[in-house]
Amino acid sequence: MELNFALNVAFYMREYQRINNISAHCITNSQYLYDMITKNTKLNVKVKSTYVISYDEKIKTVRCTNHLIISLNNKTVIDPSYDTYVQKDRRYFTNVKDLVTYGVEFKDRTTLKEFITKYLHFEKIANDMNKGIVQVSDMKYYHDQADHMEIIYKEKGDRMFYPTNQPTALTK
């Protein structure tokens, strides 16, 4: 039931983001989902820094971006951000070696270095969150999303702990 709660919170968060055209807030989204899971369940939750490879329908190209995701019990991955969750054929990588093995090529060493530097920045943010240090890039957005989730929670009540038919996670 606790896993269902985490999946439902992520689902309603992404719906809020879709309706309000929210993008590029994976830090705040991860912090909010992490907070909700740690305060309402006993699940082993970790924020992780990742690279996401996906096909972006809007610009008709493959994207590779730095991102934060939630890992539950080291086997279920939840993407709390609508803008990456809806990308076609998305794949998550937690290190450069796996990314290169997958076939990603960097045009030069400078680009690779910048990519690794940004990954390490996101990794520090994830590690801080996992230590209980709040990392929010937009406090107003965090509170607006929390207000929306409070309305949903009041409406759904205990049903937040039951499964929905919505695909919301990846299992390793």
**DSSP characters over 48-114:** EEEEEEEEETTTTEEEEEEEEEEEETTTEEE---HHHHTSEEEEEESSHHHHHHHT---SSHHHHHH
62 or 145: which leads in pLDDT: 145
Q: Are the CB atoms for 17 and 23 separated by under 8 Å?
A: yes
Q: Could you give the percent of the chain with pLDDT greater than 70?
A: 91
**% of the chain surpassing 90 pLDDT:** 58
How is the chain split among helix, strand and coil, in percent rounded to 5? 50, 20, 30
At position 59, the amino acid (one-letter code) is I
Domain ranges of the chain: 2-162+164-168
Residues 64-109 have pLDDT tens digits of 889 999 999 888 999 999 999 998 889 999 888 888 888 888 888 8
Mean pLDDT value across the chain: 88
Q: How many CA atoms lie within 13 A of 2 on its CB side?
A: 13
Question: What mean pLDDT do residues 139-148 have?
Answer: 94
Give SS3 for 171: strand
pLDDT score recorded for residue 31: 97
pTM: 0.88
- CA nearest to 65, candidates 80, 77, 50, 78: 50
More confident residue, 62 or 98: 98
